Amino acid sequence: MRVVVKGQKNRMGAPLRTDFGLGGADIVTLPQARERALEYRRMAKQGLNPRFNARQEIPTFAEIAEQVHIDRLPTWKNAKHGAQWINTLRDYAFPKIGRMPVDSIGQPEVLMCLSPIWTEKHETAARLAQRIKSVLDVAKSKGFRSGENPVTAIKDAKVLPKVAKKPKHHAAMRWQDVPAFYADLATREAMAAKALMFTCLTGSRTNEALGMRWAEIDEDARVWTCPAARMKTGEDHKVPLTDAMLAIIEPLRAMQSEYVFEGQKRHKPLSNMAMLMLLRRMGVEGVTVHGFRSTFRDWASESANAQREVAEMSLSHRIGSDVERAYARSDLLDKRRTLMERWSNFVTGNSGKVINFSKSAEN
């Protein structure tokens, strides 16, 4: 387009005219181009140079995104989560819309980012959509945008195809086989073996168990409180400790470490891969550490006939509404303790079918 900047003249004394584009046709729609042209003419009548002032006043998508990332640094669950948030945008959004003024991004631009990976990398695409939405929401709150968020419009219009969610199953051991496996595990002195025994009995996630500190254990109440920072639910989780669980960890106090399951480095926890590698050295294939949670759940349902709420809360799964959870937290700890004691007795009783695990595994 061509505009005449009010009050500015060229060397010949004529009104200063300047030409510049409104954006490529493959990026900027006709309505967007018309709106932008009108805004630039308004700037020119005010004596402003649209080429300079438009760039100065409206930041790019990448600029807003980077600032959002910085502003939210104190709120990330951990550094890894924060890095993943911005890296998703850098990998899939910045190459397409990173240099665009944030007010010029509409549905077509968002679709340019999402469509190529929507089916093949759906989980990544879904996260990308949410993060683009967050950036555009912040831009609107700062006055750089107006109107509906294009990500919301795309979702409401069902523009992108529906992708069937693939269930993710962690390979699990049959609960009938656990006692024999546990008996083999109990003969090993490695810290990974102790951690795996404890994880198996508590049904904890790997990061929850390996990050356990002595300060989280109430010996008098026989309760381990895993803090919200390590919990998937983002809430503290109380784990009732049975005799078998305490028998595993109490001897480890002599190490005088901050962590219950100390790794090779002093006052550092055991590696996340340590337990899985032990399983492989034992010759146990097709089973994951996380799978023992499923094993416990199957046993609770098929053998113990446990109430669903008790079994689910033992695994720190969310159940019911916020009101129902607030009520349940007040009276299910004792019921969960009873269930975990039954599980501990079953596992440590070695009453299952005998399985020949490799005895050549390293401790």
**Residue 362 domain flag:** no
Q: Is 142 in the same domain as 179?
A: no
pLDDT value, residue 233: 84
Q: Alpha-carbon distance 58 to 91, whole Å?
A: 23
**Residue 217 domain flag:** yes
72-81, 212-221, 304-313 — which is least confidently predicted? 72-81
Confidence at 23, pLDDT banded by 50, 70, 90: low
- Given 157, 192, 215, which residue is the final one in a domain? 157
Q: Is 96 in the same domain as 226?
A: no
Q: Is 340's pLDDT higher than 50? A: yes
Of 234 and 252, the structure prediction assigns the larger pLDDT to 252
**Residue 166 domain flag:** no
**Residue 353 domain flag:** no
The beta strand positions in 136-289, using DSSP E, are 217-218, 223-226, 237-240
Confidence at 10, pLDDT banded by 50, 70, 90: very low
Q: Is 285 in the same domain as 324?
A: yes
Six token digits for residue 156? 């409401």
Query: How does DSSP classify residue 187?
Result: T
pLDDT value, residue 140: 93
**Residue 170 domain flag:** no
Q: Is 59's pLDDT higher than 70? A: yes
- 87 and 49 Cβ atoms separated by less than 8 Å: no
**Residue 36 domain flag:** yes
Which of 204, 188, 139 is CA-nearest to residue 360?
188
**Residue 167 domain flag:** no
Strand, helix or coil for residue 7: strand
17 φ, ψ (degrees, to nearest 5)? -110, 145
- Name the residue range of residue 263's domain: 175-348
Q: Is 51 in the same domain as 68?
A: no
- Given 157, 183, 209, which residue is the final one in a domain? 157
Average pLDDT over residues 67-95: 89
On average, the pLDDT of the chain sits at: 84
Q: Is 29 in the same domain as 150?
A: no
**CATH number for position 257:** 1.10.443.10
Q: Is 127 in the same domain as 193?
A: no
pLDDT value, residue 347: 96
pLDDT value, residue 353: 44
Strand, helix or coil for residue 23: coil
Average pLDDT over residues 315-319: 84
Strand, helix or coil for residue 67: helix
173 φ, ψ (degrees, to nearest 5)? -85, 145
Q: Residue 316: which region, alpha, beta or left (left: phi > 0; alpha: psi -120 to 50)?
A: left
Q: Is 123 in the same domain as 261?
A: no
The strand pairing partners of 151, in sequence order, are: none
Say which residue the tokens 């003419």 belong to: 41
Q: Is 51 in the same domain as 80?
A: no
Q: Is 49 in the same domain as 87?
A: no
Q: Is 11 in the same domain as 151?
A: no
Q: Is 14 in the same domain as 78?
A: no
**CATH number for position 74:** 1.10.150.130
pLDDT value, residue 28: 58
Model's pTM, two decimal places? 0.54
- CA 177 to mean position of chain CA atoms: 32
Six token digits for residue 151? 């990500």
Q: How many domains does the chain have?
A: 3
**Residue 287 domain flag:** yes
Predicted confidence (pLDDT) per residue in 154-200, tens digit: 999 898 998 876 655 568 899 999 999 999 999 999 999 999 999 99
Q: Alpha-carbon distance 344 to 346, whole Å?
A: 5
Six token digits for residue 123? 């989980």
Q: Is 180 in the same domain as 318?
A: yes
Quote the Cα angle for 138-144-150, to 5°: 65
